[in-house]
Amino acid sequence: MLTPSLQFVGGLVLLLVGGRLLVAASVDTARRLRVSPLVVGLTLVAWGTSAPELALNLISAYKGRGDLALGNIVGANISNLALVLGICALIRPLVVQERLIKIEIWLNAGILGIMSVLGLTSGFQPWEAGVMLGVFGGYSIWTIMAALRQTDKAITPAAADTLGDDPMQDPVPMGWFMIAICFGGGLALLAFGGSLTSDGASAMAIALGMPAALVGVTIVSIGTTMPEVVTGVMAVRRGQTDLAMGNAIGSCLFNAGAVFGIVGLVAPPGVDTLLTLPLCYMGLLAVGMVGISRTFGKTVSRVEGGLLLGSYAGFLGLSAWMVMGA
């Protein structure tokens, strides 16, 4: 157990450094392009922090471990909505921008809700994965094009230089070369750190005799979601609550659309009976986020953050109890 423990701790250290670099590069990208940090969080940051899920699940699919891949996708979405948003909201209430309320939160509820229903009823077919991938591709193209068209309207140059309330923030954003270095380095550290964390946690869980599907939905998903956790915490501490919110929701869309879409086309995963509870919980979280986004003055409050974390702890406890009783 010593080697997996060292992998887990070492991975967390890399995640902390990578998260700091990625947030800094993302904020300065938004400042230079004069676009909302929310858009950056929904796209560049969300895709980057979901890199561990994509790499892990593609490898799992090629190796015929569909139950681990599906468990990780479902578990990662649960972690984004309950763990990431819960922790970030406890640090600072998350303001939910009108765009999220009107578009992404509804889209997330629809995609994850459909995914839950399919998993609980008929299972998954390649064409369904293709549709998911197509919807995500169309949404991503529309988001990027809309952001580029509204570059001059989204944020003024003066506001661009004062994004966030971090007193240590440099009044002049980094140059494009340094942004690329920080973004690339941050992604590399997040991917490698997420892989180490995931491998270490998975090895410890499997040594204890946990089923692969449950390992994917709990231990491995927590490990692969560590980039989102670290990036979200770093963003909230710098006052970028919209970046943190966009990262969590955008990561869910990326997981369900891109990761599941690609994995489903490569090797359609079967649905283990142990995933019944996680699929239900994922769907309820996604739909419940529609209501949460409209309460407390359109913020995810500390109370709601605590409830999200409490429900997640209960989910983990119930999952463990079901395995022990099986």
- Write down the pLDDT at residue 309: 96
pLDDT band at 168 (very low <50, low <70, confident <90, very high): very low
Residues 5 and 2: their CA atoms lie apart, in Å, by 5
Q: What are phi and psi of 321, to 5 degrees?
A: -65, -40
Residue 280 CA, distance from chain mean position: 18
Burial of 103 (0-12, 13-18, 19+ CB in 10 A): middle
- Angle of CA points 53, 120, 279, to nearest 5°: 40
Helix (H) or strand (E) holding 135: helix 126-149
Residues sharing a CB contact under 8 Å with residue 299, sequence separation 6 or more, in sequence order = 93, 94, 95, 96
Count Cβ atoms below 10 Å from residue 127 Cβ, excluding itself. 11
Q: Is the pLDDT of residue 210 over 80?
A: no
Are the beta carbons of 41 and 247 closer than 8 angstroms?
yes
Are the beta carbons of 23 and 234 closer than 8 angstroms?
yes
CB half-sphere exposure, 297, CA atoms < 13 A: 5
DSSP three-state, residue 143 = helix
pLDDT band at 155 (very low <50, low <70, confident <90, very high): very low
Q: Is the pLDDT of residue 160 over 50?
A: no
| pLDDT tens, position by position, 73-109 | 899 999 999 999 999 999 999 989 888 888 999 999 9
* Total domain count, the chain: 1
Amino acid identity of residue 88, one-letter, is: C
| pLDDT tens, position by position, 260-277 | 888 888 877 777 777 889
pLDDT band at 157 (very low <50, low <70, confident <90, very high): very low
| pLDDT tens, position by position, 107-123 | 999 999 999 999 888 77
- Write down the pLDDT at residue 310: 96
pLDDT band at 323 (very low <50, low <70, confident <90, very high): low
- The CATH number for 117's domain is 1.20.1420.30
For residue 208, the enclosing domain spans: 2-325
| pLDDT tens, position by position, 43-75 | 777 777 676 677 767 766 776 766 777 888 899
Residues 76 and 218: their CA atoms lie apart, in Å, by 8
| pLDDT, mean of residues 136-155 | 74
Residues 163 and 36: their CA atoms lie apart, in Å, by 9
Look up the pTM and report it. Answer: 0.79
Which residue has better confidence, 318 or 31? Answer: 318
- Angle of CA points 254, 117, 316, to nearest 5°: 70
Percent of the residues in the chain that have a pLDDT greater than 90, as a whole number: 27
Q: Is the pLDDT of residue 133 over 70?
A: yes
- Angle of CA points 7, 181, 142, to nearest 5°: 95
